[in-house]
A = this chain, B = another copy of it.
């Protein structure tokens, strides 16, 4: 394990990410709750949450719109909206139509709208997945009319494919120290 970068034949399939620095020893970094992907999925990892956000992005605001258009039951829509509310993805606003009592509409917060790339990436990926040869939706850039897709781009503006990407620990010195600390302070801190 001291010489992990060149110990295998590694014939085919290096077309994934490169692990840099201490993270190259991948097995040293199995900490629960460490991965942002997992944390994201803990919040919006259910199908019902995703499709509700989808409808909110399509402009739905009222409870019955959201429930009907997502084809979720009232019960699921209700509890999921409550959870999305608690997680800061939607907020409720009172409104009143003439002759109606006060109701609430649901709108996405900034954090909710920030899910746009996630939904778009899923939509792109779902395209190659058998199904709609023609009936599907298309999301376009209003104004120029061109279809949109989710791409991975670096801060310098280059489009980045998987094999051009590298993963590393952001603040490695701190993380190594924290790991040492955690190891001594509370041995089972990883799992609980």
Which residues of A are interface residues toward B (Cβ below 8 A)?
9, 12-20, 23, 26-27, 30-47, 50-51, 54, 56-61, 65, 68-69, 71, 93, 95, 105, 107-108, 111, 113-129, 131-132, 134-144, 146-156, 158, 160-162, 164-171, 174-175, 178
Contact = CB atoms under 8 A, between A and B. Distances in A.
B59 A117 contact: no
Contact of A32 (B71, B129, B161): B71
Interface centre among A113, A121, A127, A144 (most CB of B within 10 A): A121
Number of copies of this kind of chain in the complex: 2
A141 to B, nearest CB: 4
A17 to B, nearest CB: 5
Contact of A45 (B40, B47, B143, B164): B47
B174 A135 contact: yes
Contacts of A18: 59, 142
A140 B125 contact: no
B141 A146 contact: no
Contact of A125 (B54, B114, B124): B114
B51 A135 contact: no
A33 B131 contact: yes
